[in-house]
A and B are shown apart, each in its own frame.
Chain A
Amino acid sequence: MNDRNYVIIGLVVFFAILTFPFWYNLGSASSAPELVLTKKAKEAEVCVEDADFMRREHMQMLNDWRDKVVREDKRTYTGKDGKQYNVSLSNTCMDCHSNKADFCDKCHNYTAANPYCWDCHTYPEVTQ
């Protein structure tokens, strides 16, 4: 154990570098984005499912919607409250949530998620 000091110094430097991102960004965390609902979305009060479910599961749900429509031709979705919806991102989701920049993009940018929906699907242009 003649190199004890070197080993300890090496370990300290190693852990300092390892944890660098944590203490460098300490206290500078940006707050979670707040979503803006359109007037239409506010009036509707409920989404296809409840808000908590949509927040957690919308990505999985959109995948299911895509497969059901394209591959099985099942285009009607019945929510838990019994209301029926047309299974369509452009025509149902974006009908209420027409503010893509303030609704979709805000969280996606915050979490660095990069969904490719908009490569093909269109969204309503923002009306002032």
Chain B
Amino acid sequence: MENTRRKFLKFTGISVLGLSSISIIDILNAKKAAAAADNSADPYAFPEKALTAERWGMVVDTRKLDTRINQKIIDACHTAHNVPDFSDPNLPGYSSANIRHKIKWIWDETYDHVFPEKADDFLADRLKKLPILTLCNQCANPPCVRVCPTKATFKREDGIVMMDFHRCIGCRFCMAACPYGSRSFNFRDPRPAIKNENKQYPTRMKGVVEKCNFCEERLAVGKQPACVEVSNGALVFGDLADPNSEVRKLLNKNYAIRRKQSLGTNPSVYYIV
């Protein structure tokens, strides 16, 4: 009897020791694997020439805007990003109702449309007729990102509110949430309405929402946004978090306003009026 209990205890003890050594081997193996993973470095890296910032922002100097320069800016943006133009009567299936399907990344509006809270009976004559460029405000607190059910719209670390067209399911919640009308929906296939396709940049397909992306694809290769490049100084682009940047210097010298600031979206596009 005593002999059997003795044997049993010995056997149990050795078994426990043996089992615990397995876990030690596991830990050692895991450490080895982690070390191996460290050696094979991440093949993906940020582009070297990219412009970087803590928070990208833009200043629109309305004193330098007029119909001609606006059109130049709009054309530059829309050509660079393959934005379709449904207003061409030569398009197959053209109808005057196409205006409702208009896609816009940057466009111009009158003062009382851009700043409805600041519209005034006795507004300066210059502002009454001035076409003011508007675009996505790249808000620091973007309502479109909050409502997107698939995270197709998201805010990057540098403040750019981006669209991942691959993920967009076309629910248009973001369009309802955006207080600036900065988003357009592809009600129809955009491809036939793209005149000079920019092969460097993809088109969109029917059923996705699109908007200005602050030319993040150009920033990645060290270029300023397309609109800024052709604007003759009417648009200035830079880092809002850097006190020495061009945008901050402009804001320091001039009084600037933002669109519908009371909504708390914290836009990154400023207007010198």
Task: Give the residues in chain A near B47, CB-CB below 8 Å.
Answer: 73, 75-76, 86
Task: Give the residues in chain A near B44, CB-CB below 8 Å.
Answer: 64, 68, 72, 74, 76-77, 87
The distance in angstroms between the C-alpha atoms of A121 and B202, with both chains bound, is 5
Task: Give the residues in chain A near B164, CB-CB below 8 Å.
Answer: 70-71
Main secondary structure of the interface of B (DSSP, over half): loop
> Which partner residue on chain A sits nearest B156 by CB separation?
A73
Task: Give the residues in chain B near A66, CB-CB below 8 Å.
Answer: 166
B202 pairs with A122, CB closer than 8 A = yes
Instruction: Give the residue of A70, A78, A119 whose beta carbon is less than 8 angstroms from that of B43.
Output: A78
B176-202 residues at the A interface, CB under 8 angstroms = 197, 199-200, 202
Interface size band for B:
20 to 34
Counted as pairs of residues, one from A and one from B, with CB atoms less than 8 Å apart, the total is: 55
| Chain A residues bordering chain B, tally (CB within 8 A) | 23
> Which partner residue on chain A sits nearest B199 by CB separation?
A122
> Which partner residue on chain A sits nearest B207 by CB separation?
A119
The distance in angstroms between the C-alpha atoms of A116 and B162, with both chains bound, is 21
User: Are A119 and B205 also in contact (CB < 8 A) when A70-B166, A73-B156 are?
Assistant: yes
Q: Chain A interface (Cβ within 8 Å of chain B)?
A: 64, 66, 68, 70-79, 86-87, 90-91, 116, 119-122, 124
**A–B complex contacts, Cβ < 8 Å, 16 sampled:** A66-B166, A70-B162, A70-B164, A71-B154, A71-B162, A73-B46, A73-B50, A74-B45, A77-B43, A77-B44, A90-B200, A119-B205, A120-B165, A120-B205, A121-B202, A122-B197
